[in-house]
Amino acid sequence: MVIALSKSRRILTEKLPASLRGWFGVIWPFLALLSLFYGALIGVRNLFFRFRIFRSNRLLVPVISIGNLTTGGTGKTPCAEFVARHLRQLGLRVAIISRGYGAVSGNKNDETRVLEQNLPDVPLLEGADRTAMGQIAIDQLETEVILLDDGMQHRTLARNLEIVLLDATDPFGGGWLLPAGLLREPKSALRRGHAILLTNSDQVEPTVLDQLHKKVAQMAPKAVIAHAIHEPKNWMDANLPGVDLQLTERPFGPVAIVCGIGNPEGFARTLEQLGLKVTHQRRFPDHHEYSLADIKELEAWAKNLPEGTWLATTQKDMVKLQVAQLGGRQLLALKIGFKLTIGRDRFLALIESKGLGGSDYVKELAPAPLRPELALDVPHWDKKVPTLNPQTLSATGAQ
């Protein structure tokens, strides 16, 4: 028995020690047994929440959860940015809270650092106790709406709206729960979703996408289903902080990829759709924190690339690499936007109604939108974002 989808197998093998990766086919049956045990535990946990043996904490402001069923890249960070921008344009004070998965040495994780770059007026709080983080956002930052990043499995915090992302290229992670597949919950958990977004919808055949849409509609008949793509917006150059380069403002010639993301194949396809010829790739596991040894290894790798080759990475990797070139070759990061191609109006209407506590909620909180120049550019509503003490979960520095 093998996992049908190569993407699932690639992600799983990356999680194994290097010495065991060649033995994946032999190890997988044992992982399948562990998957059955894990599924039983998840099933009991979900039943406990369903019958309120385990209870969820409810905050006094609307909570919108953005999550997924699988590990790997489904585009939660661009989606969180998209939703936060829309809420800000409605005149609402938004905060994003997350677990901070992948953060090391007290630093914020890569996704949070990307959001801080792209949303300078939206506070981002990390912590294991997301209920406490949410309460801090309300009490000390006067937050009106909370976005719960990667929140589908964090059921101890109640939410008004559950947004679930499925990667159209591998929606169910090989069909198996962890550790044999990529599913974090059974596919039946889709029924909890109020909105289901099929991401990377431009990277599968239309017939395949149509079949997936129908399948999801059968599994979650009450959910709003929308299609999304990750649309290239511009290039970023570490030598030009704060300057967005046009998509045509990049070197000519072949390109080599450096990335540590959940869906490197999708990144390569995006570059090829821009008319670039991808000749070499250096991949790292998702959320990889680059060390000095990694940089030195990449320097040597880049120096040996064919003449005329330049380097491309993701914004998520750029915030961790913190270099403008490798091996004397220019390094640019591609900035990605989140675009809904089907179901946009229904999805946004859902955010403005159920996600915000009722159809009149937005009108009550924001009788008039912020002026365009204030909607996204005023840092933290003229308030300083507090520094959180991870020991006490208290905030300092707010005004």
Give the C-alpha separation, 379 to 356, whole Å.
23
Q: Which helix (H) or strand (E) holds 137?
A: helix 130-141
Residues 126-159: pLDDT tens digits? 998 999 999 999 999 999 999 999 999 999 999 9
Band (374; pLDDT cuts 50, 70, 90): very low
Residues 323-372: pLDDT tens digits? 999 999 999 999 999 999 999 999 999 999 876 764 333 333 333 333 23
Q: Can you give the pLDDT at residue 357?
A: 64
The domain spans of the chain are 63-230+339-381, 232-336
- The CATH number assigned to the domain with range 63-230+339-381 reads 3.40.50.300
Q: Is the dihedral of CA 66, 67, 73, 74 positive or negative?
A: negative
DSSP three-state, residue 32: helix
Q: Can you give the pLDDT at residue 103?
A: 55
Residues 87-131: pLDDT tens digits? 999 999 999 999 876 555 556 778 888 999 999 999 999 998 999
Range from 20-34, 226-240, 260-274, 319-333 carrying the lowest mean pLDDT: 20-34
Token couple for 377: 């550019």
Q: Which helix (H) or strand (E) holds 335?
A: strand 329-342
Beta strand spans in 18-141 (E): 63-68, 94-98, 124-126
Token match 């540590």: residue? 260
Biggest CA pair distance of the chain: 63
Residues 217-250: pLDDT tens digits? 999 999 999 999 999 999 999 889 889 999 999 9
Question: For domain 232-336, which CATH number applies: 1.10.1750, 1.10.1660, 3.40.50, 1.10.10?
Answer: 3.40.50
Residues 54-85: pLDDT tens digits? 999 999 999 999 999 998 778 899 999 999 99
Residues 173-220: pLDDT tens digits? 989 999 999 999 999 999 999 999 999 999 899 999 999 999 999 999
Give the C-alpha separation, 383 to 396, whole Å.
12
CB atoms within 10 A of CB 45: 15
CB atoms within 10 A of CB 144: 21
